Structure 1
Amino acid sequence: MVADANVTIARDKALKSQITKLLTSIQNKAVSDTPLDDREKGFISSTTVPVFKYLIDPQMLGVSSSVVYQLTDYIGYDIMLQYIQELLQQARAMIATGNYPQTVLDSVLENLNQAQQQIAVFQGQVKVQQDALLVVDRQMSYMRQQLSARMLSRYQNNYHFGGSTL
């Protein structure tokens, strides 16, 4: 049994703050064409969110990079959910391989099922954030198409296609 205790996490050590720092660092390095360090690479590969795309596309399109702040919460949720789900899977695996009385197993499995249900509720709340990012993604896709069309038009205007005689 673990005793209840107060835990204080400094603001700069909090998950959200660390994610913001990493996103800002990655974005700055992308702008300055500086290689990412191992921590930044690990961060990008640790989340299901296409971080690099959300950071680079606004830069390429010349729009505000405020999407970083929208990403912070969503990536935090993503990392937290992955971590909790992994813990639940490990707990289920330990129970499956252990020799426990049936009453204890039933109680623990019931608690794990309740935790899974609470995670599902939390995922529903996170879906709102995901939907907002999908809107941003669609807007960036539309802007990429517009930029592509303009570039093609300018490229074609630079060349006057005429009949050539050989």
Structure 2
Amino acid sequence: MFKKMFRKKEEITDISVLAPVDGELTFLEDVPDPVFAQKMMGNGIAINPASNEVNAPVKGTIIQVFPTKHAVGIKAENGAEILIHIGLDTVNLEGEGFVSHVNEGDSVKPGDKLITFDMETIKEKAKGTVIPVIITNTDDMNEIRLSDKSNVKASEDEILFVSK
């Protein structure tokens, strides 16, 4: 009986990051914003969205919802910190066109709705609709492997493999 109580919980080291949105994958280097293209925030991949709903790509905890609702941070079970940034220069929209469905501290699982956004507002008022998905603590990870798919379906297709 006591063996079960004191057994060490197995540490999760490897995770699959699923597509948070339907769309077409693109390399970070091809994102027309130097902060993302030069991987200043970390390694990852980007998606040209085909839908307006961003879902949780992993099981984890919401660690940040930006006040402007254009980005959300999730801490995955293996410690990877994932930033999903909707569009380019969308912080300047001051929340216009974005609805958050989560709060800091919420537990999420793949497929849970995080943010919905108005694609037309972003096309009209921001620099682009591309959605970078970044591992912001890249240096803490052992391996980050990018998917070789071109089109992905939200909550189904792996876009990143991250090993701690």
Q: TM-score higher than 0.5 here?
A: no
- Between 1 and 2, higher relative CO (CA 8 Å, sep ≥ 6) is seen in 2
| Structure that is richer in strand per residue | 2
| Structure that is richer in helix per residue | 1
TM tier, smaller: under 0.3
